[in-house]
């Protein structure tokens, strides 16, 4: 069940009568009311799948996951391939496509980039609404002849990443990738539509040190933490080195070398 803070009610609604049954299924699955007029946020079901819409006069447009078109398609086609900083950070190289656990999946943007480069991805998302959007986006993308094979390399788990890593069964992931929600208040970060909608729901990842510790205990080869460029490192062991871009930084915690 989705936890709701007081005054931030969430409802599920169909955008057309033919999606009412799906809306009822999502409402039951997430433990949310249908068509609550007092809600501040609506999970909407329509022709384009699931979307999250903040309600009110000044609300931004809906947030949805689309791996086939838009930003994801542009980055897949023109983003720089294995030369991208995220690819270098996780260890993508000639003959090397590591198995990666993205323990803070969010809307799956970074995981999709790595999957498009050939990495086998496991994604963990703990916020049920965000996980629902991600699951819906993955399902719709499977029907696309170009993107379908990419999202087949993406497996989604819903739950607390720290608990999941502590209870991990089988072969550990070679690389664990973390992008925790950072409690900074730069205006540029809050302008983004996703942040305006999600921050009241998701909050800050105040357990980031425990997340890092669990990742370091589980990963076989390295842990990578994405941070705002000027943010401090997460409390705990220091990274061996970082890759720095215009707005983001990748802190790298190596355990052993990735080999072809």
| 103 has a pLDDT exceeding 70 | yes
Residue 35 forms part of a structural domain: yes
Residue 259 forms part of a structural domain: no
Same domain, 49 and 171: no
Which CATH number is 127's domain given? 3.40.50.150
The reported pLDDT for the residue numbered 73 is 81
Residue 112 in contact with residue 150, Cβ under 8 Å? yes
Same domain, 197 and 137: yes
The reported pLDDT for the residue numbered 207 is 87
Q: Which residues are annotated as part of the binding site?
A: 125-126, 179
Residue 141 forms part of a structural domain: yes
Range of the domain at 185: 70-254
Same domain, 244 and 155: yes
Q: Which residues are annotated as part of the binding site for S-adenosyl-L-methionine?
A: 125-126, 179
Nearest to 243 by CA among 231, 256, 229, 232: 229
Residue 17 forms part of a structural domain: yes
For 74-99, the pLDDT digits (tens) are 778 776 778 899 999 999 999 999 99
The reported pLDDT for the residue numbered 77 is 76
In a 3-state reduction of DSSP, which class is residue 196?
Answer: helix
Strands (E), the chain: 10-14, 41-46, 49-54, 100-102, 121-125, 154-158, 175-178, 222-228, 241-244, 248-254
Residue 63 forms part of a structural domain: no
What does the alpha-carbon distance between residue 123 and residue 121 come to, in Å, rounded to a whole number?
6
Same domain, 39 and 81: no
Same domain, 45 and 164: no
Note the pTM of the prediction, 2 decimals.
0.89
| 167 has a pLDDT exceeding 90 | yes
Residue 4 forms part of a structural domain: no
Same domain, 174 and 85: yes
| 4 has a pLDDT exceeding 70 | no
The number of folded domains in the chain is 2
Same domain, 94 and 138: yes
Same domain, 141 and 250: yes
Tell me what the pLDDT averaged over the chain comes to: 89
What does the alpha-carbon distance between residue 243 and residue 166 come to, in Å, rounded to a whole number?
28
| 184 has a pLDDT exceeding 60 | no
With cut-offs at 50, 70 and 90, classify the pLDDT of residue 238: very high
Residue 139 forms part of a structural domain: yes
What does the alpha-carbon distance between residue 202 and residue 73 come to, in Å, rounded to a whole number?
26
Same domain, 193 and 125: yes
Same domain, 242 and 189: yes
The reported pLDDT for the residue numbered 71 is 84
Residue 161 forms part of a structural domain: yes
The reported pLDDT for the residue numbered 190 is 43
Same domain, 129 and 170: yes
The reported pLDDT for the residue numbered 182 is 65
> Treating both helix axes as pointing N-terminal to C-terminal, what angle do 128-141 and 193-202 enclose, rounded to 10 degrees?
130
| 252 has a pLDDT exceeding 60 | yes
For 61-71, the pLDDT digits (tens) are 899 999 999 88
Same domain, 176 and 203: yes
């Amino acid at each position: 069940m989705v936890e709701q803070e007081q005054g931030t009610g969430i409802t599920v609604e169909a955008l057309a009568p033919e999606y009412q049954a799906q809306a009822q299924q999502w409402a039951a699955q997430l433990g949310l009311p249908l068509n609550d007029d007092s809600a501040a946020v609506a999970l909407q079901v329509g022709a384009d799948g699931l979307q999250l819409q903040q309600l009110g006069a000044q609300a931004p447009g809906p947030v949805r996951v689309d791996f086939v078109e838009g930003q994801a398609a542009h980055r897949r086609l023109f983003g720089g391939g294995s030369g991208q900083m995220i690819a270098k950070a996780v260890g993508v190289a000639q003959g090397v496509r590591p198995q990666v656990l993205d323990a803070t999946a969010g809307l799956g943007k970074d995981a999709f980039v790595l999957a498009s480069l050939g990495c086998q991805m496991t994604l963990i998302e703990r916020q049920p609404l965000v996980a629902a959007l991600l699951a819906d986006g993955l399902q719709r993308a499977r029907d696309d002849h170009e993107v379908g094979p990419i999202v087949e390399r993406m497996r989604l788990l819903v739950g607390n990443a720290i608990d999941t890593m502590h209870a991990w069964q089988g072969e550990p992931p070679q690389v664990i990738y973390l992008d925790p929600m950072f409690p900074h208040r730069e205006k540029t970060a809050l302008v983004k539509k996703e942040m305006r909608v999600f921050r009241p729901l998701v909050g800050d990842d105040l357990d980031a040190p425990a997340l890092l510790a669990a990742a370091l205990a589980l990963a076989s080869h390295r842990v990578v933490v994405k941070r705002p460029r000027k943010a401090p490192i997460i409390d705990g062991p220091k990274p061996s080195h970082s890759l720095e871009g215009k707005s983001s930084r990748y802190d790298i915690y190596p355990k052993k070398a990735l080999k072809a």
